[in-house]
Amino acid sequence: MRLFVDTNIFMEFVEQRRNLDDVSLIFDEILDGHIPAYISTGCIYTLAFLFEKSLKAQDIHKPELTERLRDYLAEVLDMSKMVELSYSGAKRAVRSEAFTDIEDSFQYQCAIENRCDVLLTINTKDFKNADQQRIEILNPSQFVKKYMSQDEQ
């Protein structure tokens, strides 16, 4: 299985939000080498911005902010393979009527182009018009129940 990880999954982990337990289980499987994870090139840019914003909100400033930001981004890169979206894929994403959020459309097209089986996201509703015959759209809880529960029994 090839798992495409949406940007919001990393934010869920870093900010210890509601889905932290399921995201942690999934990340453990990724880090143990059981599930290959993929991210878009755009994801790492967005994460740099969001991680920095989150650290500043915690009143963390330079030089500590820079070091933590580097550590967070290095961890993301160590656990996933960064893949690109082609020009034609980007054009499809921009023109797709299936998405009202174009950033989600970019993520979806990138996952499709890179032959991922599952797109993991917090906001499955944002992908409700996506062709789920091409890729399965799951949130962390759905993923754990479907792909990891039998491992824990």
Domains along the sequence of the chain with CATH: 3-152 (3.40.50.1010)
Q: What is the mean pLDDT of residues 7-30?
A: 92
Sequence-distant (6+) residues with CB within 8 A of 83 are: 38, 39, 40, 41, 110, 113, 114
At 148, list the tokens: 């990891």
Q: What angle do CA 116, 28, 126 make, to 5 degrees?
A: 45
DSSP structural state of residue 18: T
Question: Nearest 5°: phi and psi at 98?
Answer: -75, -15
Q: What is the pLDDT of residue 150?
A: 58
Q: What is the pLDDT of residue 98?
A: 94
Distance, in Å, from the CA atom of 144 to the CA atom of 82, rounded to the nearest integer, reads: 23
**pLDDT over 60 (residue 50):** yes
**pLDDT over 90 (residue 120):** yes
**pLDDT over 70 (residue 139):** yes
**pLDDT over 50 (residue 146):** yes
Q: What is the pLDDT of residue 53?
A: 94
**pLDDT over 90 (residue 15):** no
**pLDDT over 90 (residue 87):** yes
Q: What is the pLDDT of residue 152?
A: 47
State the DSSP H helix or E strand holding residue 28, giving kind and residue range, or none if neither: helix 20-31
Q: What is the pLDDT of residue 144?
A: 97
Distance, in Å, from the CA atom of 132 to the CA atom of 153, rounded to the nearest integer, reads: 28
Distance, in Å, from the CA atom of 85 to the CA atom of 93, rounded to the nearest integer, reads: 10
